[in-house]
Amino acid sequence: MAGTPELSRLLDEIRQADDVPRHVAVIMDGNGRWARDRGLPRWKGHREGMKAVRRCVEGSLQAGISHLTLYAFSRENWDRPPAEVRALMALLVEYVEREARELVANGVRVTVFGDRDRLSAEARSSVETLERTTSPGSALCLNLAISYGGRDEILGAARGLAEDAVSGRIDPADIDASSFERHLQTAGIPDPDLLIRTSGEMRISNFLLWQIAYSELYVTPVLWPEFGERELYEAILEYRRRERRFGRVGA
Ligand code: FPP
């Protein structure tokens, strides 16, 4: 990481206290606007966005975050023009080729969730190889949501529980949050403490609908291709100033 004095100062501040968010989730938005503002095609915005992914992973490692979840491609994104979808899939493959070695070296374990059956054979095999080669990593879990939709995930969990009930594996009266969560694609991953959205939009866009029930929301006007360690650290410091009450009365 390019360690400017300002980044070091922010990082020192983060490390001084021991309440770094365990899980940070990010809606990476604004690639298209970044490109448009420069008279460039949209795919160039996505390519620049890939560099921001790298900075965000590095910043997370430095800050001691244990889970980072990135919304890389939603189910709704399949409805974009075919050329843009192809460009995004190609970027995913390129990301794996470029970053795999360093992710392994830095102890990053990558997990992909979403409907991977819809990915091209090349993209699917690429992410599966990445999951396999990074599986020993224990410094940071990087979760990539690809072809993901929150409502769809909830429907899948409801379907799974209904099947368990019909086959007698569970009594419907015993269904609770824990049994439900075991059927989510994020089973085993703690809920996000902090949800960051770039580019200023005040929307959740079908991301982790169940899991963000009590997440702190942080929206920055910065477009995703310009997001970096500094913006991540500022979000963490803002998170620390919040009082999380989980529906209870404050201290
Ligand atoms: C939203 O910007 C961004 C996406 C739909 C794709 C995110 C992809 C990347 C950051 C690059 C590849 C990622 C990985 C993990 C390899 P938008 O296109 O909706 O922007 P706009 O709202 O300004 O049009």
Q: What is the pLDDT of residue 1?
A: 46
Catalytic residue among 12, 29, 37, 106: 29
184 pocket-lining for ligand 1 (C-beta < 6 Å): no
Closest among 215, 210, 177 to 196, alpha carbons compared: 215
* Residue 2 pLDDT > 70: no
Helices (H), the chain: 5-16, 31-37, 42-63, 82-105, 121-134, 150-166, 177-181, 229-241
29 pocket-lining for ligand 1 (C-beta < 6 Å): yes
Classify 202 as helix, strand or coil: coil
Spatial CB neighbours of 86, under 8 Å, sequence gap ≥ 6: none
Helix (H) or strand (E) holding 196: strand 194-197
Q: What is the pLDDT of residue 245?
A: 77
Taking only the tens place, the pLDDT of each residue in 3-38 is 799 999 999 999 998 889 999 999 999 999 999 999
77 pocket-lining for ligand 1 (C-beta < 6 Å): yes
* Residue 250 pLDDT > 80: no
The b/e string for 43-82 (b: 16+ C-beta within 10 A; e otherwise) is bbbbbbbbebbebbbbbbbbbbbbbbbbbbbbbebeebee
CATH numbers and ranges of domains, the chain:
21-155+192-240 (3.40.1180.10)
Span from the CA of 30 to the centroid of ligand 1 (angstroms): 7
Find out whether 24 and 193 touch, Cβ atoms under 8 Å.
yes
Q: Which of 26, 28, 60, 110 to mutate to test the pocket of ligand 1 (most atoms within 8 A of CB)?
A: 28
Q: What is the pLDDT of residue 5?
A: 93
Q: Tell me which residue has its CA closest to atom 8 in ligand 1.
A: 72
Find out whether 177 and 161 touch, Cβ atoms under 8 Å.
no
Task: Count CB neighbours of 186 within 10 A.
Answer: 23
Find out whether 46 and 31 touch, Cβ atoms under 8 Å.
yes
Does 191 qualify as catalytic in the annotation? no
**What are the φ and ψ backbone dihedral angles of 25, each rounded to 5 degrees?**
-115, 145
142 pocket-lining for ligand 1 (C-beta < 6 Å): no
Does 77 qualify as catalytic in the annotation? yes
Provide the whole-model pTM. Answer: 0.96
User: What are the beta bridge partners of residue 219?
Assistant: 197
Q: Tell me which residue has its CA closest to atom 3 in ligand 1.
A: 29
- The one-character DSSP state at 145 is E
Span from the CA of 29 to the centroid of ligand 1 (angstroms): 6
Taking only the tens place, the pLDDT of each residue in 218-242 is 999 999 999 999 999 999 999 999 8
| Chain centre distance of CA 218 | 14
Catalytic residue among 12, 18, 77, 152: 77
Nearest-angstrom CA–CA distance, 104 and 126: 15
Nearest-angstrom CA–CA distance, 146 and 72: 5
Nearest-angstrom CA–CA distance, 220 and 224: 9
* Residue 156 pLDDT > 60: yes
Span from the CA of 56 to the centroid of ligand 1 (angstroms): 14
Q: What is the pLDDT of residue 247?
A: 80
Taking only the tens place, the pLDDT of each residue in 91-139 is 999 999 999 999 999 999 999 999 999 999 999 999 999 999 999 999 9
Nearest-angstrom CA–CA distance, 41 and 132: 34
